[in-house]
Chain A
């Protein structure tokens, strides 16, 4: 589990993760917010159906794919969280990218 290294007060942002309201900070990406909220797995692999989580955090691995406000297959590490945003991981919503 990842935790904040200090208690610096940054503007909180409330958003929805698989229907549940969770909190992050203004500069969090969806990926960092997921990890902060103890979610290590955001999807299942396309053929072997194995759990996957963020690996590179810089946009080159395409493992951190989530659904953002209904848009599928978005890289969680490339999007900042926004107030009221609806994020879904495919382990909850059903295996999205199964062939």
Chain B
């Protein structure tokens, strides 16, 4: 069977790319060894965050934020997105200094979405916060959505435009010849002019296949979610000197992350939660919100995600093969970028270039002695 584009990976990056390519008349096939959103895309924290991004990601993130504001126009669903803002709390003057330096950095780059706010403004926004905090770095319009719903919306709209989706079809190999990619899977072979590697934590295996493995590791960041509570917390919470990302979802549950890692057996795709770290996470939450001590944790889990050594994704054409493009390594902060990354990938495929500054994400940026 022949397509214009074959995409490995039925996560958000894969379907966002498929959607954009389909909008431009390309026929797409999305392949996955599991089901859509089985891994990072389905189980992440749903954060829509521009705040505290690596400067290289800021242009993409700012563009993505605009897409999220009207996401319903793009994918026919609002993905339950909310935009109550995000704060990065300074508990003391030292924290505040760090945050001010950051604010200056960002405004120096010409962006004004990160603003310092004082204690009065902070407590107006987060009245339930423990006493004694001195201020925060605030990003208006940041927020969150529901990841699996977003993924479903991207999948549905891509498929409505003709994208074919095949789960349980692990890709075994891919060869380029006579202007065509032939992709072999456990459920048969397919061919296309163009191949996209959006395989998340498994993308490096494919990159290796094409002679361009990058220094990336699969890791399993942990999350906890609580029972539903009456609504008391508007903005998403982070803290300048703590590993914490904490929000109250649309349905009243609290979602607690902080990038603490579980133990991962990548081969078996099994994670073992690290309760030491989860205990630390619980203490962190209670330090900032002591009144939550009796709140019940309903579920804890870890998702499998790809982390590059520099924490930046790979969004680029292949450095070794024709008509091959890579899109992976989002290091636990890809969700928000997904609508814009799909546009970038479509631009790369069709025009050969993107208007957004993506050279920091080039696959050949890793120095030779870093490559595996």
Contact = CB atoms under 8 A, between A and B. Distances in A.
Are chains A and B touching directly in their complex (CB below 8 angstroms)? yes
B252 A99 contact: yes
B255 to A, nearest CB: 14
User: Chain A: interface secondary structure?
Assistant: loop
A97 B252 contact: yes
A25 B250 CA distance: 41
B294 A71 contact: yes
B179 interface: no
Nearest to A96: B230
A73 B230 contact: no
Interface string B86-106: 000000000000000000000
B252 A73 contact: no
A56 interface: no
B250 A73 contact: no
B54 interface: no
B294 A99 contact: no
A62 to B, nearest CB: 9
Interface string A59-97: 000000000000111000000000000000000000011
A22 interface: no
B227 interface: yes
Contacts of B208: none
B294 A97 contact: no
A71 B296 CA distance: 11
Interface string B222-254: 000001111000000000000000000011100
A46 interface: yes
Nearest to B231: A99
Contacts of B252: 97-99
A99 B296 CA distance: 16
A99 B250 contact: yes
Contacts of B227: 73, 97
Contacts of A99: 228, 250-252
A73 B296 contact: yes
A72 B229 CA distance: 9
Nearest to A70: B294
Given A46-B228, A96-B230, A72 B294 contact: yes
A62 B227 CA distance: 11
Contacts of A96: 230
Contacts of B294: 71-72
A72 B296 CA distance: 10
Nearest to A68: B294
Contacts of A71: 294
A54 to B, nearest CB: 18
Nearest to A97: B228
B250 to A, nearest CB: 7
A46, A71, A72 — most chain B CB neighbours (10 Å): A72
Q: Which 3 A-B pairs have the closest CB atoms?
A: A99-B251, A99-B252, A71-B294
5 contacts: A73-B227, A73-B296, A96-B230, A97-B228, A99-B252
Interface of B: 227-230, 250-252, 294, 296
